[in-house]
Structure 1
Amino acid sequence: MSVEHSHHLPNPKSTAPPPKIEVVGTAEGAPAAPEGAVPMTILVTLPPGSDGAPPHRHSGPAFGYVLKGEIVFELEGDPERVVKAGESFWEPGFDVIHYQDGNHLDDAESQFVVTMFCAPGQPMLIPVSDEELEERKHLRAPRP
């Protein structure tokens, strides 16, 4: 871990062991939050085999961490991938379509926490219409 990502400060007055702090993900090149953004952290629990939310977008960037299980994650322009417990993900939000966030497991639930920076007055998830999906299908990565 580099010095700029070091989050441990020695506490000379403490006799207890120091906290264990690990960087689990970074988002180099992430866009800035919208002006007046409202940070929101949610916990999502996906039942076995759940498809998750339908295609949508967010009004600002989102940063997440899988607590248990595995999720299928797909953003416009990127191939789908499986994000496992202990791994992080992020998305730029704004105009980018979030195609998938479903449970990759058919026999166990999966759970993730995500912090979103929502534009004021905008919903957390903005559904994408079938018409827009058709118009933008050339931007979606090839399907497996």
Structure 2
Amino acid sequence: MPGLAPHRHSGPVFGYVLESNIFFELEGEEPRVIVAGEAFWEPGGDVVHYQVSHPDPEARSRFVAVCICAPDVDMVTMLEPEEIIARDYLRHPSARQHQG
């Protein structure tokens, strides 16, 4: 799966990896690999989801996610390059080796 650009959700997101694994990075947290059978969540709101991708671009991964949206707010807001730069100090220090 190609990586998803930095974004935020208007409300919380709950997910579960069905097949293989995903590389996952939330603002302020160390990037990690989530494997099949494990769950993940995002608080939504102002927290940025920097990366979700497959560590092996030749393999397939599948996950299901449920997004609880705030009323009258888009489910996903993509970040502009200026905001990504301005918030860089909020990323976990280890994220710099995985920046996407």
TM over 0.5: yes
Structure 2, unaligned runs of 5 or more = none
Matched residue of 1:118: which SS? coil
Match of 2:14 among 63, 88, 92: 63
Structure 2 contact 14–41 (Cα < 8 Å) conserved: yes
User: Cα deviations across residues 69-121 of structure 1 (Å, max 9, x unaligned)?
Assistant: 11110000001000011110001000000000111122211110001101122
Aligned-partner residue type, residue 63 of structure 1: F
Q: How many equivalent pairs are there?
A: 95
More helix per residue: 2
The normalised TM-score by structure 1 is 0.63
Q: Could you say which structure has the larger radius of gyration?
A: 1
RMSD, matched Cα? 1.0
The residue that corresponds to 1:73 in the other structure is 24
Structure 1, unaligned runs of 5 or more = 1-45
Structure 1 contact 54–99 (Cα < 8 Å) conserved: yes
The normalised TM-score by structure 2 is 0.89
| 1:99-138 equivalences in 2 (<5 Å) | 99-138=50-89
